[in-house]
A = this chain, B = another copy of it.
Amino acid sequence: MRPITQEKMDKLTNFMEKNSIDLIFITDWGNARDVNMRYLTGHIMDANLIVTSGGETILLPWDVDLAEDHAQVDTLVTDKDSRHNPATYVKEAAKNDSPVIGFNLGIPYRYILELQRKMPELKLFESPHKLADMFTKLRSTKSPQEMDKLLEAGKIGNKTIKDIRKFAEEKEGTENDLSFIVMKKMQEYGAEENSFPSLVANVVRSHMIHCHPSAGNNKYSENGLALIDYGARYDGYVSDITIPLSFGKLSEEQKKIKKTCFKAYEEAIAAIDVGVPLWKISKTAVDVIEAAGYNMPHGLGHGLGLTVHDAPGIRQKPTEPERIEVWREVLVEEGMVFTIEPGIYVKGLGGQRLENDVMIRNGKVEVYTKSEPIEL
């Protein structure tokens, strides 16, 4: 089953017609994922996809068996070499000799070169940002079926919180140990897999935005600020939770980091309401953090869906004229599902991030994951 609804599919093809786009070409492969492939077809991964303005979908998968099990498309190309010559299929699908082709902004340059070489008469859609915005807009709100799966992924994450607390309370074990427990428990609770490798960082590493490696053989409960960032995948859909932890007696500065982070979180959550611009929610948190003399080196949050960084992004309004040009204001609306995750990171002192998942359902703001600080 494809996740996109017929109503949204119609929006996409209407957009294509209005903008005289004959075809959209989407690719999803190991080093350059585009979740729109799965969103438009249901096929899991590793494929090229052609969508015509008539709404026809033509899938060129690597693993034909996998596609047969999952894809809901008009044409499933079973030639195992089709991925090497997508242009042949693009030519076939095009209704004229110089089709206008739309690409998502993340598409690797090689595909554009390849299609241009084989179809010198092809025209690139001249407003690629408009098309990217369209994709973002489609995925920014979830259908009831998608919301159910997201809630389930959230529940699995919630159940795991007590296991994390139990581990932390024992004040023994390494980051890797905790990472294993979380993985094991989430699978026990029904997760298909981790939505990403859990980031487990003790005080020495928690100042890193995305610690590397994701977990290590360091004692997790060293005195100071620590965190764990983890999530479950359920039938494709993900949750994303960060629990900030603190161990032992903290310095005044560490206490301030903690307090500021939690205040930013509370105020951001309180700022969410239907019709509020997303940048304002971000600004609420950033103002708290900057007033305390810190900065936040990442966005306040991101959408959740078939990918951990889905639409919409909860970010600051850009300041550079060139970025404002392609920026558009997005308001909170029914069906949006996103994280709120303010963080403060100071090398030597550690970091704190508090992250929960939020859903706008039946006009209500629902914080459906249950992370809260663990202080030991």
Interface residues of A (CB under 8 A from B): 30-34, 44-46, 62-63, 65-66, 80, 84-85, 87, 103-110, 112-113, 117-118, 128-129, 132, 176, 180, 183-184, 187, 192-193, 197, 207-210, 212-215, 217, 233, 295, 297-298, 309, 318, 320, 322-323, 345, 347
Of B63, B112, B213, which one neighbours A109 at CB under 8 angstroms?
B112
Question: Judging by beta carbons under 8 Å apart, are A107 and B106 in contact?
Answer: no
CB-CB under 8 A for A113 and B106, given A62-B209, A193-B214, A318-B84? no
Please name 8 pairs of A and B residues whose Cβ atoms are closer than 8 Å in the assembled complex, sorted by A: A31-B34, A84-B318, A85-B323, A105-B110, A108-B108, A109-B109, A110-B132, A193-B215
Question: Judging by beta carbons under 8 Å apart, are B113 and A109 in contact?
Answer: no
Of B33, B108, B118, which one neighbours A107 at CB under 8 angstroms?
B108
Question: Judging by beta carbons under 8 Å apart, are A31 and B62 in contact?
Answer: no
Quickly give the copy total for this chain. 2
Chain B residue with minimal CB distance to A326? B117
Question: Do most interface residues of chain A lie in helix, strand or loop, or is the interface mixed?
Answer: loop
In the complex, chain B residues whose CB is within 8 Å of the CB of A132: 110
- In the bound complex, what is the Cα–Cα distance between A282 and B103 (angstroms)? 34
- In the bound complex, what is the Cα–Cα distance between A345 and B192 (angstroms)? 23
Question: Judging by beta carbons under 8 Å apart, are B128 and A109 in contact?
Answer: yes
- In the bound complex, what is the Cα–Cα distance between A113 and B118 (angstroms)? 22
Question: Judging by beta carbons under 8 Å apart, are B108 and A113 in contact?
Answer: no
Known: A105-B110, A118-B322, A213-B233. 18 other contacts (CB 8 A): A31-B106, A32-B106, A32-B108, A46-B210, A63-B210, A63-B297, A80-B295, A80-B297, A84-B318, A84-B323, A85-B323, A87-B322, A106-B109, A107-B108, A109-B112, A110-B132, A113-B129, A117-B322
